[in-house]
Structure 1
Amino acid sequence: MNVTLFPDVVVNGETIPSAAIAAEAQNHEAPKEKPGIAWRKAAQALAIRALLLQEAKRRALTADPLELAPGRFETEDEALIRALLDEALVIAPVGEDAVHAEWEKDPARYRSAPLWDVSHILCACDPRDEAERGLAEARAVALLARLDGDAKGFAAAARESDCGSKASGGHLGQLGPGDTVPEFEAALRTLTDEGITPAPVLSRHGWHIIRLNATAPGQVLPYETVRPKIAQALEKAAWADASRAFVESLADRSSITGASLAPI
């Protein structure tokens, strides 16, 4: 990205250089053919950060960085912004009526995790080894072509699997979310019952041919079970709305050039 094509951002006389925006842009998603979107998102994020830090300093706030995880602490700027929002935002408690009304919109949304009955064929390899990965992929493609969508022949083909499940026709049993590596689960979620992945799926273990035998959808959970989750979601949404309104109020009385706070 040619940073000279984009202007510096100035917030109430404070300049945010284009180099800082270019660095921040790496943290924002955008289509490859439209890098300007990532730039605009980065410029907006840094402009908002500047607004909040300026207001925290205007109020003479101080804050000690909190430990977010073992050995990982907030930066001083993050601590100041947290202190500012804690002081400035007043969030009304979420009442029982609001929680129940949200649940009543569609109780079926709140379910236990589904279970998938799954079989697979593994052509094992170290994905970091290009030659080994290529040979394993060719083997998996050949197995898949031999199957040609024949779900009934899957167990026989699974005898050539590199997984111990080959002894049971590749059957892995019932799996839930998080029970497999992410690549495997992502492919599994695209299948319908008795469906087979149209192409081998690469994971840290090698190439998988995956068959979804059946799905057991999660059960609808009772209100009392999901109530805390709904309340937490409503509180989070209220906090986000209040934060957005607060930033807009700061922007309304500020001078900002080179960035827009409008949704991107």
Structure 2
Amino acid sequence: MSTKTIQQDLGYSEYRIDSDVIYFKPDSAKSEKTFAEEIQHSLNQAQKFISPKFFYDKTGSMLFEKICTLPEYYLTRIEIKILKELKRDLLEYIDKKFRLVELGSGSSTKTRLLLDVFDKIHDQIEYMPIDISEIKVNGAIITPDEVAREMQFHAADSQEAAMHKSSEVLIVQLLLLQKAREMGLDQDLPTESDIPSEETIISRLIEKEASAQEVTEEECHRYFDANKDQFFSQDLLELKHILLGADPEDKDKRAVAKEAAESLISRLVESFDEFEALVNEHSDCPSKETGGSLGQITKGQTTPEFENAIFELEEGLAKEPVESRYGFHVVYVDKKLPGKQLEYEHVKSDVAKMLMELGQRKAIAMYIHNLVDEAD
């Protein structure tokens, strides 16, 4: 039976921490009960018990670490013995892309044995211990699993930073939902909508409690006068080119393409009248059907490396080939029109919209700040 089938049979859900890190856990709806239900169930058994997970607060975790070292507690010793015996065998299963992710890392005593194995084949060890405690917000609980699921949506320089950001997002979302429900904004929700109900509830709250305020003509004019450098039309180029195509991974072909582009530039310096004929004969771009013309281009319309190069050019034939991911380009700039200062009348509606958006962001940030201050 495949791993996937086993996971499906057990009702497991897949949680992606990042593009290379996935873990599986039984669906919370199937596996989790409330604290009261679990305690009631466990104490009603013939052999009464309480789940160990309820002991693992800070003090409980410290006590467990001590228990693991007792002579009576043989499990840790057996696990360490197994890991020591498997150290050699593990090497053949670990490649350069391998990461070690430990959910509920504790003291990481046994993990150090695995890190010793990594050290033999890796110059740099990528180890991610994840130990998340549940978070309480006004009596409601955000579980470690919820934080781990949220982490996939927050790219960060470290797992710790992603975990912190995910926790913040979930806390704010829960506070907003609690406030909205307290105000009765979770009633009469649309039954047929692609928008999640929680998003609708929060939108209602924001609209009622932190909506954008109208801005005056005077405020708009004052902002424009203080920030005129933000209000320019875009630079515009009108150009044509000849593309000598070459795959970015094929160094030999790119060298040949560059040399060919340099040769074409030399010919065009002597006789530019040949440009259209050379386009038809050599260009690998569909623009050869229009004489190599790319029309009018503003920033953001082409690849970054090509854009950066062509906007530095002056009108006329470029003296050197322009390199891009597609190959080497022989470029001729027909016109270069620099951006111009825009008049207030042309942009006042954009200024008003921007100021309203800024105002709403500030209002929302202040509202959330107040909710956090009032929360338990």
Q: TM-score range, shorter-chain basis?
A: 0.7 to 0.9
The structure showing larger relative contact order (alpha-carbon pairs under 8 Å, at least 6 residues apart) is: 1
User: Which of 18-27 and 228-237 deviates more?
Assistant: 18-27
Give 1:222 shift.
1.4
Map residues 152-171 of structure 1 onto 2, 5 A cutoff.
159-166=281-288, 170-171=292-293
Give 1:167 shift.
7.0
Of the three residues 161, 172, 177, the one matched with 2:294 is: 172
CA distance in 2, matches of 1:98, 1:149: 58
Of the three residues 288, 291, 305, the one matched with 1:187 is: 305
Structure whose alpha-carbon radius of gyration is higher: 2
Contact 1:111 1:219 in 2 (8 A): yes
Is 1:246 aligned to 2:367, yes or no?
Answer: yes
Contact 1:91 1:242 in 2 (8 A): yes
Residues 119 and 85 (structure 1 numbering): CA distance in 2 closer, same or farther, change over 3 Å? same
Is 1:25 aligned to 2:144, yes or no?
Answer: no
User: Which of 232-241 and 111-120 deviates more?
Assistant: 111-120
Contact 2:234 2:338 in 1 (8 A): yes
Partner of 2:223: 102
Aligned-pair identity (%): 23
Residues 82 and 60 (structure 1 numbering): CA distance in 2 closer, same or farther, change over 3 Å? same
Contact 2:306 2:323 in 1 (8 A): no
Residues 197 and 247 (structure 1 numbering): CA distance in 2 closer, same or farther, change over 3 Å? farther
Partner of 1:15: 141
Partner of 1:83: 204
Residues 143 and 171 (structure 1 numbering): CA distance in 2 closer, same or farther, change over 3 Å? farther
| Unpaired runs of at least 5, structure 2 | 1-16, 18-100, 105-129, 269-274
Give 1:123 shift.
5.7
Residues 72 and 223 (structure 1 numbering): CA distance in 2 closer, same or farther, change over 3 Å? farther
Give 1:173 shift.
3.2
Residue deviations 1:122-167 (CA, integer Å, cap 9, x gap): 4669xxxxxx8856x7534431255469966686985422124347
AA in 1 matched with 2:137: V
Partner of 1:128: none
Contact 2:257 2:327 in 1 (8 A): no
DSSP 3-state at the match of 1:190:
helix
AA in 2 matched with 1:142: V
DSSP 3-state at the match of 2:308:
coil
Contact 1:120 1:209 in 2 (8 A): no
Aligned residue-pair number? 234
CA distance in 2, matches of 1:108, 1:44: 36
CA distance in 1, matches of 2:332, 2:204: 50
DSSP 3-state at the match of 1:209:
strand
User: Which of 149-158 and 4-13 deviates more?
Assistant: 149-158
Residues 35 and 252 (structure 1 numbering): CA distance in 2 closer, same or farther, change over 3 Å? same
Is 1:144 aligned to 2:144, yes or no?
Answer: no
Partner of 1:204: none
Of the three residues 17, 36, 40, the one matched with 2:160 is: 36
Partner of 1:129: none
Partner of 1:115: 236
Contact 1:165 1:171 in 2 (8 A): yes
AA in 2 matched with 1:76: S
DSSP 3-state at the match of 1:172:
strand
Residues 87 and 164 (structure 1 numbering): CA distance in 2 closer, same or farther, change over 3 Å? closer
CA distance in 1, matches of 2:194, 2:267: 55
Partner of 1:60: 184
